[in-house]
Amino acid sequence: MAPKPFRQMYEEKYMRFPQGACKAVTLSYDDGVQADKRLIAILNKYGLRGTFNLNSVLFDCPDWHNRMNEEETYATFSEGAHEVALHGARHIFLNKVPLPEAMREVVLNREYLEKKFARIVNGMAYAYNGFNEEIKKGLAMLGVKYARTTANTHSFALPEDFLEWNPTCHHREECFGELTEKFLNSNPLSEFKHRESLLFFLWGHAYEFDDDNNWEIIENFAQKIASAKDIWLATCGEVCDYVNAYKSLVFSLDGERVYNPSAIPVWLELRGKTYKIEPAQTVLFDED
């Protein structure tokens, strides 16, 4: 039998998103403002999915960037494809109050949103980017699965730490259009060494589109992303759950057998072939 050819850099395993996609897009918008309705209409038109980070005791503050009242907030987010997430009860810097008070902010916020929307609410965006290591530990104890920062990476890498999830960019940044093109033009499958799947994580506040009179930039983004192929459109929570399911895969020592203990199917690429591993299924990879 002829010896197998040497295939350096060919044995690595890469997470693929649902349906084997190499790219994903998610959006995270803050504060529960009137302009969220227009943003949601655009996302729905193009099939994009977003996460909306809401406070719970600021419904009667319309002067603060035109926030929605309680009824409007419920009506806007109670149905539809978008995620509701935590943003603190009162939109305070969690790192500028005693830790118990910071935790109370999150507990009250979570309790309110879960009761109001009758769903599990365990994603978050830090108000004013206020956090520290202690707060991250506290959030983990409260069952918060991820928390978004405002530290724009200008990259499409997935986070090392979901409780410090740095987004790709804010829509107000000059590089937004350039990054969009770069994302659309990149193809992990044509890479030799760096075949990691890519995530475009956009964030902002919907009222900024009114303030800047530039709704067309988000409509253009949504239209371009929607017309590209093989991009998974997901909420932040879905991205987090999916990555955690991938990370939970159990491999044999030689890496040739994999078991998916999670409740969702997971896609993986090895030696140029993409595998779908069903929940509770064990798969033996093909030799080539």
**What is the rounded CA–CA span in Å between residue 233 and residue 39?**
15
Q: Distance of alpha carbon 218 from its chain centroid, rounded?
A: 17
* In the complex, minimum distance from the CB of residue 276 to Zn ion, in angstroms, rounded to a whole number: 38
Q: Is residue 36 a contact point for Zn ion (CB under 5 A)?
A: no
* In the complex, minimum distance from the CB of residue 166 to Zn ion, in angstroms, rounded to a whole number: 16
Kindly tell me which of 199 and 206 has the beta carbon lying closer to Zn ion.
Answer: 206
* In the complex, minimum distance from the CB of residue 31 to Zn ion, in angstroms, rounded to a whole number: 4
Q: What is the DSSP letter of 33?
A: B
Query: Which residue's Cβ lies closest to Zn ion?
Result: 30
Sheet holding 266-270, edge to edge: 13-16, 266-270, 273-277
Cβ atoms of residues 28 and 201 within 8 Å: yes
* In the complex, minimum distance from the CB of residue 53 to Zn ion, in angstroms, rounded to a whole number: 7
* Contacting residue, 30, 36, 238, 241, with Zn ion by CB under 5 A: 30
* In the complex, minimum distance from the CB of residue 57 to Zn ion, in angstroms, rounded to a whole number: 14
Q: How far apart are the first and last CA of the chain?
A: 16
Residue 155 has, within 13 A of its CA and on its CB side, a CA count of 9
Point out which span in 56-64, 107-115, 121-129, 146-154 binds Zn ion (CB under 5 A). 121-129
Q: Spell out, one character per residue from 55 to 74, where the chain touches Zn ion: x when CB under 5 A holds, - when not.
A: --------------------
Burial class (CB in 10 A: 0-12, 13-18, 19+), 212: exposed
Binding residues for Zn ion restricted to 124-143, rule: CB under 5 A: 127
Token code pair at residue 16: 């693929």
Q: Is residue 31 a contact point for Zn ion (CB under 5 A)?
A: yes
Q: Is residue 105 a contact point for Zn ion (CB under 5 A)?
A: no
Kindly tell me which of 129 and 186 has the beta carbon lying closer to Zn ion.
Answer: 129
Q: Which residues contact 97 (CB under 8 A, 6 or more apart)?
A: 105
Token code pair at residue 168: 């790709």
- Interacting residue ranges for Zn ion, rule: CB under 5 A: 30-31, 127
